[in-house]
């Protein structure tokens, strides 16, 4: 199968499905071409796959990634790897090589998936099981993973997390913005700084004002006490 190379280093490997060895490519699509995406990362071969969330499942993506022969450019000896995977997990001839690769890598946490849902889309339209329940808010949507620690500066999706953070796409915790604002002491200055910072980082005016209104009374009573 001949792979079609798109802009960046993304390669078209299947039905609305693309692969790359660069987390930056995935980050660019999330920031600049927002739509519901599924993403998988294979830490064994250090490759990414991104697909239209309405078209593909994470498992389908991994099978397409194998069947497209994309992995042969990143594995020293993929055939030997598949043979080892079959032996270790007793995956007999009832599994194709692609299925053996997919089942083994997911079962051994070498492949993990996430879902990106942009603003104005409903998460439940793409993931009914609730398996991807940990949320990380972006300035233009939400990342869903199975555990919050996976999408962090030390988790399996570390490189994507850091790329998005550098691009200013990850919302800071609103509590952190509030703590920075209260250093100013003066209520008017706190309000101005906090609401401006919150909106600059992707929170709506209503969210910022609601948070301010619900926290300022406690803050004033605390400093007066």
* 68 vs 85: CA distance, rounded Å: 19
- Domain finish residue from 140, 166, 192: 166
Give the pLDDT confidence score for residue 8 in this predicted structure.
62
Torsion of CA 10, 14, 16, 18, to 10 degrees: -20
* 62 vs 33: CA distance, rounded Å: 22
Give the pLDDT confidence score for residue 224 in this predicted structure.
60
Residue listed under structure tokens 């499942």: 57
- Domain finish residue from 138, 166, 194: 166
Q: Do both 112 and 193 map to the same domain?
A: no
pLDDT per residue of the chain (225 residues) written in tens, 0 to 9: 445 555 568 999 999 999 999 999 999 999 999 999 999 999 999 999 999 999 999 999 999 999 999 999 999 999 999 999 999 999 999 999 999 999 999 999 999 999 999 998 988 888 877 899 999 999 899 999 999 899 999 999 999 999 999 998 998 878 888 999 999 989 999 999 999 988 887 778 888 899 899 999 888 887 764
Q: Do both 42 and 132 map to the same domain?
A: yes
Q: Do both 34 and 135 map to the same domain?
A: yes
Q: Do both 89 and 197 map to the same domain?
A: no
SS (H, E, C) 125-146: HCCCCCCCCEEEEECCEEEEEC
> Per the structure block, which two tokens stand in for 18?
């693309």
Q: Do both 183 and 121 map to the same domain?
A: no
Q: Do both 39 and 141 map to the same domain?
A: yes
Q: Do both 19 and 66 map to the same domain?
A: yes
Q: Rounded to two decimals, what is the model's pTM?
A: 0.80
Which is nearest to 74 in space by CA: 97, 52, 45, 101?
A: 45
Q: Do both 35 and 63 map to the same domain?
A: yes
Q: Do both 45 and 152 map to the same domain?
A: yes
Helix, strand, or coil (residue 43) = coil
Q: Do both 111 and 214 map to the same domain?
A: no
Domains: count for the chain: 2
φ/ψ of residue 4, rounded to 5 = -95, 125
Domain holding 193, by residue range, is 174-224
Q: Do both 12 and 116 map to the same domain?
A: yes
- Domain finish residue from 131, 150, 166: 166
* 36 vs 90: CA distance, rounded Å: 35
């Amino acid at each position: 199968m001949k792979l079609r190379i798109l802009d960046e280093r993304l390669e078209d490997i299947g039905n609305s499905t693309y692969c790359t060895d660069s987390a930056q490519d995935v980050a660019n699509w999330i920031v600049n071409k927002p739509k519901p995406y599924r993403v998988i990362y294979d830490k064994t071969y250090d490759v990414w796959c991104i697909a239209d969330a309405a078209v593909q499942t994470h498992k389908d993506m991994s099978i397409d990634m194998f069947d497209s022969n994309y992995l042969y450019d990143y594995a020293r000896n993929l055939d030997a790897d598949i043979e080892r995977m079959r032996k270790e997990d007793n995956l007999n001839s009832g599994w194709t090589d692609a299925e053996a690769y997919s089942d083994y890598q997911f079962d051994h946490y070498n492949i993990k998936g996430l879902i990106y849902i942009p603003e104005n889309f409903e998460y439940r339209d793409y993931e009914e099981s609730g398996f991807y329940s940990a949320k990380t808010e972006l300035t233009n949507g939400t990342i869903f993973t199975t555990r919050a620690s996976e999408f962090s500066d030390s988790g399996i999706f570390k490189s994507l997390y850091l790329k998005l953070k550098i691009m200013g796409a990850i919302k800071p915790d609103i509590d952190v913005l509030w703590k920075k604002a209260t250093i100013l002491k003066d209520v008017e200055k706190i309000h101005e700084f906090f609401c401006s910072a919150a909106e600059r980082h992707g929170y709506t005016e209503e969210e910022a004002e609601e948070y301010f209104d619900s926290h300022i009374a406690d803050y004033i009573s605390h400093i007066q006490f």
